[in-house]
Amino acid sequence: MKKLIYIYMSLLSVIVTAQVKDKVPNFSDEYFLIKDGDSLVIELNEVTVLPRHKFKSKVDIRYYLWFRKKVFKAYPYAILASKRLDSIDVRLRKIKSNSKKRKYIRRVQKYVENELSGQLKKMTRTEGRILIKLIHRQTGRTAFENIKELRSGWKAFWYNTTANLFKLSLKDEYKPAIENEDYLIEDIIQRAYIDEVLVFQNHKLDIKPLELIGKRKGEINVDKYKVMFAKMRKKRKNKKVKRSSK
C-alpha cells in the first residue's frame, strides 16, 4: 500500500491479530436455581441477533467470504492506527523545535521500514481501500483529514506520500448507509463481534450499525467483485492466447 499505509502503521507499536475467544460461564448471582421445583432459571445477558444472510446464489457466498478475509486483514491496522493517532498528535504538539520534530519523523520512518514495511507491502489494492475506509470509521476523520491535521511538521513527506498512491482516494469516506462495499464491511464487522472473532471497538462516526443491517434484512450484494474477477479472468485468458499465437 506504499508510503501512506507505512506512515499510518508508524502509529502502531505492535501488530494485533484477531483471535477467537472461548468463554467459560461465570456462575454468579445472574443464575438462579429453583429448589422447590424442577425448573432451572438462568438470567442471560442480552444477545444481538442479526438477519440471516440472503445470497443470490451459492457462488456469491464465496465472494463474500473472500471479501471478509480482506476486512479481517485490514481491521487490526485501523484499530491500532486509531489508538495511536491521538498520542502521536499530542507528541508532535509538545515538540517545539523543528529539528527535533524532523528527528522524531526520521525515527518513525526508520521503525516502519525495519518492522512493518514487509508486511504492509503484501496488502492488495482492495485491502488498502478497506483500510482507508476503516481509518475513517475508527478515527472519525478521513485519511486526508488526518494528514491535514498533522501537516505542520510532516507536510513535505505527506504530500510526497499521496503522490505515490494509485487508484485510491485519501478522501474516501465510510458510508455504510449509502455505499454497498461499506455496508458489507460493517456487516462483516458486526457479525464478527457477535461471534467473538473480532474484539469490539467503538467507532467515531454517527452510524447505527445494527439498525442499518436490520433494514437490509440480510441481503448481500457482491456483484462488484464478480465483475472484477470476470475482467481479471478475461485478461489472463487474452494473455494466454497472445502467448500461444507467438
In a domain, 204, yes or no: yes
In a domain, 118, yes or no: yes
In a domain, 39, yes or no: no
Query: Percent of the chain, pLDDT > 70?
Result: 63
Domain housing 88: 2-18+46-221
107-121, 175-189, 225-239: range with highest mean pLDDT: 175-189
In a domain, 110, yes or no: yes
DSSP states along 103-169: HHHHHHHHHHHHHTHHHHTT--HHHHHHHHHHHHHHHSS-HHHHHHHTHHHHHHHHHHHHHT--S--
In a domain, 149, yes or no: yes
In a domain, 92, yes or no: yes
Query: What would the pLDDT profile of 49-103 be if each residue is shown by its tens digit?
Result: 899 999 999 999 999 999 999 999 999 988 877 877 766 767 778 888 888 877 8
In a domain, 192, yes or no: yes
Query: What would the pLDDT profile of 138-193 be if each residue is shown by its tens digit?
Result: 999 887 787 676 655 455 445 445 445 556 777 889 999 999 999 999 999 999 99
More confident residue, 58 or 47: 58
Number of domains in the chain: 1
Range of lowest pLDDT (2-11, 31-40, 80-89, 130-139): 31-40
Q: Is the pTM higher than 0.85?
A: no
- Residue 202: CA count within 13 A, CB half-sphere: 3
Name the β-bridge partners of 41. Answer: 32
Rg (CA), the chain: 23
What does the DSSP 8-state code read for residue 21?
A: -
In a domain, 91, yes or no: yes
Cβ contact 191:52 at 8 Å: no
Range of lowest pLDDT (21-30, 101-110, 216-225): 21-30
Q: How far apart are CA 149 and CA 207, in angstroms?
A: 23
